[in-house]
Amino acid sequence: MKRGVLEHECVEAWKINSPRQWWAFVQLDDEDELRDRVLAAVLGGRGDDEAIDHLIRFAEALEAHRRASKAGTVKAPPAVGERRSFAITVSRMTRMVSPRGPFFRVDFACPDGWGGHFDTTNPGVVETISRLRNRAKPLTVVGEISRRPYEFYVELQDSVRIV
């Protein structure tokens, strides 16, 4: 990546106004396609771009990983295709719309030092998360890992259940 792009006035302003996002951005590998997508969003003035949301999710998972590393409690997330139960804390739930219709994206962290997200249209899952008064209180979910874009970040299939 050319040094000049990182010194562009839009990028400089973003560094100042969004230090957590900048911190996560510099943690990405130089070859990571998310870097290019984030830079395009920043340079284009698109703060609501999906790439920025992905960067925020990456930051949350990286922070959870670092906290668990400090505490000595890091465990690897399940392998792709593995379905099992695990404890999560929900960091946010966002209503999204796609060509297939509306759904909710749930971002989470695990005490084992990894995090991720899942999409759901399950009214029971949405209602349970919506009623959480204390987001720090863990929930136990059952889900299958569909993708592991980073060693500490997973995406779950949309058939997640809360137990």
* Mean of pLDDT over the chain: 92
Q: What is the pLDDT of residues 51-109, one digit of tens each?
A: 999 999 999 999 989 999 999 999 999 999 999 999 999 999 999 999 999 999 999 99
Check whether 146 has a pLDDT greater than 80: yes
Distances (CA, A) of 73 to 52, 66, 136: 29, 10, 17
Q: Which pLDDT does position 144 carry in this prediction?
A: 96
| pTM of this structure | 0.85
CA 28 to chain centre: 14
Q: How many residues does the chain have?
A: 163
Amino acid at 139: L
Dist. CA 147–CA 116, nearest whole Å: 10
Q: Please state the domain extents for the chain.
A: 3-71, 83-162
Q: Interior CA angle at 36 toward 32 and 39, to 5°?
A: 135
CATH (residue range 83-162) = 2.40.50.590
